[in-house]
Amino acid sequence: MTNLKFLVTGGAGFIGSTLVKEISTCNKVVVVDDLSMGKKENIQFNDNIEFIHGSVTNEALMEKILSERNFDYIFHLAAIASVADSVERPVESHRVNFESVLMLLELVRKYQINLKRLVFSSSAAVYGDESTLPKKEESVIRPLTPYAIDKFAAEQYVLNYNHLYRIPTSAVRFFNVYGPNQNPESPYSGVISILVDRYKKLINGEPALFSLFGDGSQSRDFIYVDDVIQALLLIANDDETLGKQFNVGTGESITLNKLIEVIDKALNVKLPVQYEKERSGDIKDSVADISRLLSIGFKSNYTIQSGLENYLKSEKLM
């Protein structure tokens, strides 16, 4: 992909900024981010990147952006990404996670006649607590939180805009994404970012207790962010993916206990772990069936070991 125009909402966030880094070497990229979760420092600026500080809920701003430019690709990654936040603030969360998407779709329908693809970021949260594993795209959907409900509803609108209006859309359901630039500051931040923060403290001789909710036997399908970017770009460029949603994971899972063991071993330390009561609403096990993603040529470049190693190196821990 070269000399194309991209819009990345949430482009200062963890996944967004990684995508922007990848595509901005040879393409023009407009980033829209209100910096509520993301950080400007996450973006490695070059002349191809235009940063617009604003919210995707700001209709006038979004209309201005979409009416004045022709984009080839739009990646909608802006969201209130915390499930807990959505439970605390369902109305605000709905505005960001659902209404902004519908508005964006309408603006695309009105102005973006040359668009090649809009990719919407949905979540494995849509599967909820139904226990059949691995999760397939056609598995039972049981969204349990405002976050999951909005992600599912928005995803369905996005795909329906393809079926109803021929807008070129696809959606991705992220499993547990990890890697550099993930913000560890909230208790609901990705567990690997919290772990890395604790290991950093441990190595710096600071207090570094990790609270593990449950007995550590819960498992997740952790995918390294660079593999996620590969999946996003493959999906955006394949005609077979139009109007469809894709699980984005590795198809493998690991327990939290094992994960800590792997990092302990890599860093040759022992992280102090305090076992606490299981978090309410926590899912026991989660793993993706990624047959659909594999069918378009996805090939994971990272195991959990090599992904962690990259992350730990980027944090200067290795």
Q: Closest approach of Cβ 275 to ligand UD2, in Å? A: 9
Q: Is 194 in the site for ligand UD2 (CB under 6 A)?
A: yes
Backbone angles phi, psi at 190, to 5 degrees: -55, 135
296: amino acid identity, one letter: I
Q: By C-beta, is 18 or 218 nearer to ligand UD2?
A: 218
220 in Cβ contact with 249 (< 8 Å): no
Q: Is 78 in the site for ligand UD2 (CB under 6 A)?
A: no
Alpha helix ranges (H) inside 171-255? 191-203, 225-236
Number of residues this chain uses to bind ligand UD2 (CB under 6 A): 21
CA pair distance 236, 213, nearest whole angstrom: 37
**Given the residues 73, 127, 147, 199, the one annotated as active site:** 147
238: amino acid identity, one letter: D
Among 108, 153, 191, 260, binds ligand UD2 (CB under 6 A): 191
Q: Is 213 in the site for ligand UD2 (CB under 6 A)?
A: yes
- Tell me how crowded residue 187 is: count the other CB atoms within 10 A of its CB: 11
CA pair distance 154, 57, nearest whole angstrom: 14
Is 147 among the residues known to form the active site? Answer: yes
Binding part of the chain for ligand UD2, among 49-57, 133-141, 188-196, 232-240 by CB under 6 A, reads 188-196
What three-state secondary structure class fits 76?
strand
Binding part of the chain for ligand UD2, among 37-45, 59-67, 206-214, 294-302 by CB under 6 A, reads 206-214
Q: Closest approach of Cβ 159 to ligand UD2, in Å? A: 19
Q: Is 83 in the site for ligand UD2 (CB under 6 A)?
A: yes
Q: Is 219 in the site for ligand UD2 (CB under 6 A)?
A: no
DSSP for 20-50 reads HHHHTTTSEEEEEE--SS--GGGS---TTEE
| Beta bridge partner(s), residue 169 | 118
Binding part of the chain for ligand UD2, among 59-67, 103-111, 163-171, 186-194 by CB under 6 A, reads 186-194
Q: By C-beta, is 191 or 287 nearer to ligand UD2?
A: 191
Q: Is 141 in the site for ligand UD2 (CB under 6 A)?
A: no
Left if phi > 0, otherwise alpha if psi is -120 to 50, otherwise beta: which for 181? left
Q: Is 245 in the site for ligand UD2 (CB under 6 A)?
A: no
Q: By C-beta, is 49 or 78 nearer to ligand UD2?
A: 78
277 in Cβ contact with 204 (< 8 Å): no
Q: Identify the residue whose tokens are 């967004």.
A: 16
Q: Is 154 in the site for ligand UD2 (CB under 6 A)?
A: no
β-pairing, 245-248 with 210-213? unpaired
Q: Closest approach of Cβ 82 to ligand UD2, in Å? A: 7
188 burial (CB, 10 Å; 0-12 / 13-18 / 19+) is middle
Site residues (vs ligand UD2, CB under 6 A): 83, 123-125, 176, 187-188, 190-191, 194, 211-214, 218, 220, 256, 279, 282-283, 286
Catalytic residues: 147
